[in-house]
Structure formats: structure tokens, C-alpha cells
């Protein structure tokens, strides 16, 4: 049976520099290549990877804020890629995004109430009084006072603004939230509060999340499964406990190096963080794109691209020489201690 959200063979390419008289292209950015994964109702999929790995583009392509070059995104069996803008409208209600910097996505001259009611107004949902009541109730659920309805986003802290942004995203009663680095830039204590709020809301509203972050600890706390992206491709995907406890791709193992030992739990294979810059997505390396930085690379790696293959239940890796499993994968339970310590 197909998953509720089904991403199949998704490719996104951007053409560079089609300006000037001759409108010549100066290259193509391979932002995403051959992405496959599924997500069920109430589930969280974490997307991790360095800056430029394509994780934000993937979130936007799922919401059709970016047009895929190839492949399909299906929601409840409906191919969203084939819909007109008008046909997309009911699906836009079902899928919302929370951005890293809520201030950037808010009109500073609108009151908090107007900001939360805006998606309802644009979608023509409810009467003015109903919208106002819904916005005020959402604010209260986010732990903010109803009086915030008449204030401006500039009067609030970063963490409070992120809660306002979550309230706005929830106003249309969506089923799927794409959370793009929602806790970046917040202090540890506020990160913990936002993560706990997101977890509670998911339980209350049966929400599905795509959680994008470079913070593997935060992703491990919220996600049941994690996909690791490198230069626009998924290089490893696994249940969270398996990925943290027994990473099979050398790139994933190098990300473990940045993870505090108490989250990593000592047993997992980990390699030093990769040296050098991530290669250009305009000219991705031949074969395995990670071979220019991989401490385990062999001659075969530069010639032949490894495809994703299963190494255990629900665990796929794209590597010719995956790391051997070391010990039993732990199941992350509570909040990582370094968040819990911050409150």
C-alpha cells in the first residue's frame, strides 16, 4: 500500500544565468535527484544534511512552492504535480510551512491577529468573527495572551515569534507541516520549548511533519525516521534509533561526530567531520558524490554511483562500502539531555 505522502523520483533542476541577448544558460544546479520516500499520517520525517544539500528545496518541492523537473508528489493518492493552481487550493490548506526566521515571513506592519488570520482570509475560510476567535484560541494554545492579537511581531522575542508563526501555519487546520529549521537561532531553552510544543501539537492534531534541520539532536528528538541528504540525493534513510545507533553511510557517521556523546550513546560508528567544502551542485563529482571527502573512498567510488539499497528493515544506504553495524541501535526516548538541561 502506498504511503499517505508519497514522493517518487523527484528531481529539481535550476538553470543558471539565462539572461542577456542570447539567453544562454551558464549551467544547471542539480538541487534534487531521484528522491523517494513516504510519510504516514501523524509521522515525522527528519531531513538532515549540510547547507546546500537540498533539504529546504525538498520541503518546498513537496508543498509545490518549487516546481519539480521530474517525479511526483502524491498526497492521499492525488498527484499534486499534475494539478492546476486552482485544483491545488484545497491541498494548500492541508500543507503549511514554518520558516527558520518567522520575522522574514511576517509583515511587520500587520498585527499578530491579522498575521494569523491571513491564510484564512486568503483561502476564504470562515467569517471575520470566526477567524478572530480561531486566531485568539490558537494564540492561547501557543502559550501567548489573547491581547497579542492587537500587538505587532516586533514587540515579541524570537521564540514568541516562532510560536506566532506556528499558530499562523495551524490556522487552516493542515495535516502536514514542513518545518524548515524552526529552532535555529533560538537559545537552547527556547529550542526545547518549541520542540516540546511541536510534539504536543502533533499528538493533539494528528499532524505529520517534515522536520528540516542541521541539528541532528533536535531531529532525533522529534522524528521517527531520518533521511540524510548530500548534494541533492538521499544517501541514507532509516528509523531514528537505527540511524543514530548504527549509521551505515560514512557521511552520516561524520555527522555523528558533531552530536553530543549522550545523544550518540557511545556505541555508534562515527568518523571525523568531512574536510573541505561541499562540491558544487552545478558540477557534482562523478560516481559517489561524497568520494572527494570520504575517508573510506576506493577507486570504484569515483566511477560508479551507488544506489540506495536495503541493509536492514527500513534502513537504506547508498554506499559501496557501508559501515558495519556496531551494537544494538538505541531508541531515543526523552529530550536530548543538552536540551533538557536548558529547560
Q: Extract the C-alpha cell encoding 183.
A: 529552532
Pick the closer one to ligand SF4 by CB: 48 or 144.
48
The neighbour count for residue 270, using CB atoms within 10 Å, is 21
Taking the least distance from each CB to ligand SF4, the nearer of 42 and 279 is 279
Pick 265 or 296: Cβ nearer ligand SF4: 296
Rounded Cα–Cα distance for residues 192 and 133 (Å): 28
Give the largest Cα separation in the chain, rounded. 67
User: From the CB of residue 338, how many other CB atoms can be counted at a distance below 10 Å?
Assistant: 15
Give the nearest distance from C-beta 236 to ligand SF4 in angstroms.
10
Query: Do residues 97 and 178 lie in contact, with contact meaning Cβ atoms separated by under 8 Å?
Result: yes
When the beta carbons of 178 and 319 are compared against ligand SF4, the nearer one is 319
Cα dihedral sign, 272-294-237-81: positive
Crossing angle, helix 128-141 and helix 158-170, to 10 degrees? 130
Q: Which residue has the cell 557501508?
A: 322
Q: How far apart are CA 323 and CA 149, in angstroms?
A: 53
**Nearest distance in Å: CB 246, ligand SF4:** 16
* Interatomic CA distance for residues 267 and 269, integer angstroms: 7
Contact 329, 245 (CB under 8 A): yes
Minimum distance, C-beta of residue 237 to ligand SF4, in the bound complex (Å):
15
CB of 179 to ligand SF4, least distance (A): 28
Nearer to ligand SF4, 139 or 319 (CB): 319
Task: Give me the torsion for CA of 235, 240, 242, 246, rounded to 10°.
Answer: 60
Q: Are 38 and 5 in contact (CB under 8 A)?
A: yes
Nearest to 60 by CA among 98, 108, 25, 30: 98
Least distance in Å: CB of 232 to ligand SF4? Answer: 15
Nearer to ligand SF4, 4 or 290 (CB): 290
Note whether 319 and 306 are within 8 A (CB): yes
- Closer to ligand SF4 by CB, 214 or 296: give it: 296
The answer to whether the Cα torsion of 25, 30, 31, 35 is positive or negative is positive
Of 80 and 269, the one with the shorter C-beta distance to ligand SF4 is 269
Query: Is the CB of 117 or the CB of 248 nearer to ligand SF4?
Result: 248
State the nearest-atom distance from the C-beta of 321 to ligand SF4, in Å. Answer: 4
Question: Site residues (CB under 6 A) for ligand SF4?
Answer: 249-250, 288, 290-291, 294, 296-297, 301, 306, 319-321
Least CB distance from residue 251 to ligand SF4, whole Å?
A: 6
Distance CA 182, CA 195 (A): 9
Q: How far is the CB of 276 from ligand SF4 (least distance, A)?
A: 14
* Residue 225 CB, nearest approach to ligand SF4 (Å): 20
Amino acid at each position: 500500500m502506498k504511503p499517505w505522502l508519497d514522493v517518487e523520483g523527484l528531481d529539481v533542476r535550476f538553470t543558471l544565468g539565462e539572461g542577456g541577448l542570447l539567453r544562454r544558460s551558464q549551467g544547471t544546479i542539480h538541487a534534487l535527484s531521484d528522491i523517494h520516500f513516504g510519510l504516514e499520517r501523524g509521522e515525522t520525517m527528519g531531513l538532515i544534511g549540510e547547507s546546500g544539500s537540498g533539504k529546504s528545496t525538498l520541503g518546498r518541492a513537496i508543498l509545490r512552492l518549487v516546481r519539480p523537473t521530474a517525479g511526483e508528489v502524491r498526497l492521499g493518492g492525488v498527484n499534486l504535480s499534475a494539478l492546476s493552481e486552482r485544483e491545488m487550493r484545497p491541498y494548500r490548506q492541508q500543507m503549511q510551512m514554518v520558516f527558520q526566521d518567522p520575522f522574514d515571513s511576517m509583515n511587520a506592519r500587520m498585527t499578530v491577529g491579522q498575521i494569523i488570520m491571513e491564510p484564512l482570509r486568503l483561502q476564504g475560510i470562515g467569517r471575520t468573527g470566526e477567524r478572530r476567535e480561531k486566531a485568539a484560541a490558537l494564540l492561547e494554545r501557543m502559550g501567548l495572551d489573547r491581547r497579542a492579537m492587537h500587538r505587532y511581531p516586533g514587540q515579541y522575542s524570537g521564540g514568541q515569534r516562532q510560536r506566532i508563526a506556528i499558530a499562523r501555519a495551524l490556522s487552516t487546520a493542515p495535516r502536514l507541516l514542513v518545518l524548515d529549521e524552526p529552532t535555529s537561532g533560538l537559545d537552547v531553552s527556547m529550542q526545547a520549548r518549541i520542540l516540546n510544543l511541536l510534539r504536543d501539537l502533533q499528538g493533539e492534531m494528528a499532524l505529520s511533519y517534515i522536520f528540516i534541520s542541521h541539528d541532528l539532536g533536535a531531529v532525533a528528538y522529534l522524528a521517527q525516521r531520518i533521511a540524510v541528504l548530500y548534494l541533492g540525493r538521499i544517501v541514507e534513510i532509516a528509523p531514528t534509533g537505527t540511524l543514530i545507533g548504527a549509521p551505515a553511510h560514512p557521511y552520516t557517521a561524520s555527522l555523528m561526530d558533531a552530536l553530543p556523546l549522550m545523544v550518540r550513546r557511545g556505541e555508534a560508528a562515527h568518523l571525523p567531520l568531512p574536510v573541505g567544502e561541499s562540491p558544487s551542485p552545478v558540477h557534482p563529482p562523478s560516481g559517489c558524490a561524497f568520494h572527494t571527502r570520504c575517508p573510506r573512498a576506493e577507486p570504484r567510488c569515483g566511477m560508479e554511483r551507488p544506489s540506495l539499497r536495503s541493509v536492514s528493515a527500513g534502513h537504506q544506504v547508498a554506499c559501496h562500502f557501508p559501515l558495519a553495524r556496531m551494537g544494538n541501535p538505541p531508541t531515543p526516548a526523552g529530550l536530548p539531555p543538552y536540551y533538557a538541561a536548558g529547560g
